[in-house]
């Protein structure tokens, strides 16, 4: 219902995870494992699966879902999600035929300031589905994939707030942050250049994509930003440690800090 085909996209201009793996800031664990009353069955299955899983399989055996949201503002207590976009990565390739995108009808009026940023208008949202309609579809789309995002904590924070309200629980999929991957990659580039740190470096999604010559998509559109983030994620995975990252554990170890490698 919420999938879009690639023609709609613009052309480019066993140890437990909880105790070891995701302590690194490169990865985020969206929440604890509460036995939430009324927790939706799909969230319960999601929670049980990620209690423990192998880190040692080759990266191309994992699935990743790259997610982005557009919001009415940055305050989780009062602001809302107005669109969700996501794209799947299988075998370390972007699956362009398997995307997720929807606008959402917020409970409150759209602030004019937010419309100027994401260009979603009241006309776009007045007939859009609600979170109650969309979230089960989105959780099913994410499935048992690892989640990827640029400053992913912001997106997951808003999504989990909505999931608690509408589905009685949260996502437990481990999350990878491309902003932290960017910081790590730049540190590895600087380590051999004494006193040559660039203090004016930008970590915005668009600036990083332009810096590394990646395909460019329109900004502040949830699906296009998810696509942009997917390209950036694959770029860093292939570039970090000279392309020697082969397993999920390798990616974790890469994030431990370049001074100790």
What pLDDT digit, counting tens, does each position of 68-82 carry? Answer: 999 988 888 888 999
Q: How far apart are CA 106 and CA 122, in angstroms?
A: 10
72 token code pair? 């009415």
Domain count, the chain: 1
pLDDT of residue 151: 93
Q: Which domain holds residue 252?
A: 6-260
Helical (H) or strand (E) element with 167: helix 152-167
**Is the residue at 1 inside a domain?**
no
pLDDT of residue 33: 42
Among the listed residues 104, 93, 95, the one whose alpha carbon sits nearest the alpha carbon of residue 69: 104
- Residue 58 included in any domain: yes
Kindly report the CATH number assigned to the domain that includes residue 126.
3.30.420.10
CB-based contacts of 7, cutoff 8 Å, min separation 6: none
What does the alpha-carbon distance between residue 199 and residue 177 come to, in Å, rounded to a whole number? 21
* 171 close to 142: Cβ distance less than 8 angstroms: yes
Question: For position 90, what pLDDT does the model report?
Answer: 97
What are φ and ψ of residue 7, in 5° steps? -65, -20
Task: State the average pLDDT for the chain.
Answer: 81
52's tokens: 């423990």
Closest by CA to 255, choosing from 235, 238, 241, 243, is 241
Strands 146-149 and 175-177, bridge-based pairing: parallel
> pLDDT digits over 186-218, tens only?
887 776 555 455 667 899 999 999 999 999 998
**Quick one: tokens of 178?**
């491309």
- CA-angle at 158, arms to 157 and 160, nearest 5°: 65
How far apart, in whole angstroms, are the C-alpha atoms of residue 70 and residue 72? 7
Q: Residue 93 in contact with residue 73, Cβ under 8 Å?
A: no
pTM across the whole model: 0.81
**Integer Cα distance of 37 and 104 in angstroms:** 26
Residue 178 lies in a domain: yes
Mind listing the pLDDT tens digit of every residue in the chain (261 residues)?
333 333 344 443 333 333 233 334 555 545 444 444 589 999 999 999 988 888 899 999 999 999 999 998 888 888 899 999 999 999 999 999 999 999 999 888 777 777 767 878 887 888 899 999 999 999 999 999 999 999 999 999 999 999 999 999 999 999 999 999 998 888 877 765 554 556 678 999 999 999 999 999 988 899 999 999 999 999 999 998 888 889 988 887 776 543 333
Would you say residue 13 lies in a domain? yes
Examine residue 127 and state whether it is found in any structural domain, yes or no: yes
Question: The sheet that has 93-103: what strands, in order across it?
Answer: 27-28, 175-177, 146-149, 64-71, 81-90, 93-103
């Amino acid at each position: 219902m919420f999938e879009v085909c690639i023609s709609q996209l613009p052309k480019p201009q066993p140890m437990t995870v909880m105790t070891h793996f995701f302590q690194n800031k490169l990865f985020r664990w969206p929440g604890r494992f509460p036995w939430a009353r009324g927790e939706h069955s799909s969230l319960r299955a999601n929670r049980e699966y990620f209690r423990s899983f192998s880190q040692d399989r080759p990266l191309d055996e994992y699935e990743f879902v790259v997610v982005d949201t557009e919001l009415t503002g940055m305050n989780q207590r009062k602001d809302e999600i107005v669109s969700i976009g996501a794209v799947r990565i299988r075998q370390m390739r972007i699956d362009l035929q398997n995307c997720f995108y929807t606008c959402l009808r917020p409970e409150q009026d759209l602030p004019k300031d937010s419309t100027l940023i994401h260009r979603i208008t009241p006309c776009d949202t007045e007939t859009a589905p609600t979170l109650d309609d969309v979230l089960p579809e989105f959780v099913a789309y994410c499935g048992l994939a690892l989640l990827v995002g640029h400053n992913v904590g912001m997106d997951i924070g808003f999504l989990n707030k909505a999931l608690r309200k509408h589905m009685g629980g949260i996502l437990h999929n481990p999350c990878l942050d491309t902003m932290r991957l960017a910081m790590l990659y730049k540190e590895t580039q600087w380590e051999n250049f004494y006193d040559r740190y660039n203090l004016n470096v930008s970590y915005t999604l668009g600036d990083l994509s332009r810096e590394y010559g990646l395909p460019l998509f329109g900004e502040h559109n949830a699906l296009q930003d998810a696509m942009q983030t997917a390209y950036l994620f694959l770029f860093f995975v292939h570039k970090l440690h000279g392309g020697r990252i082969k397993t999920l554990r390798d990616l974790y170890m890469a994030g431990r800090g370049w001074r100790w490698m």
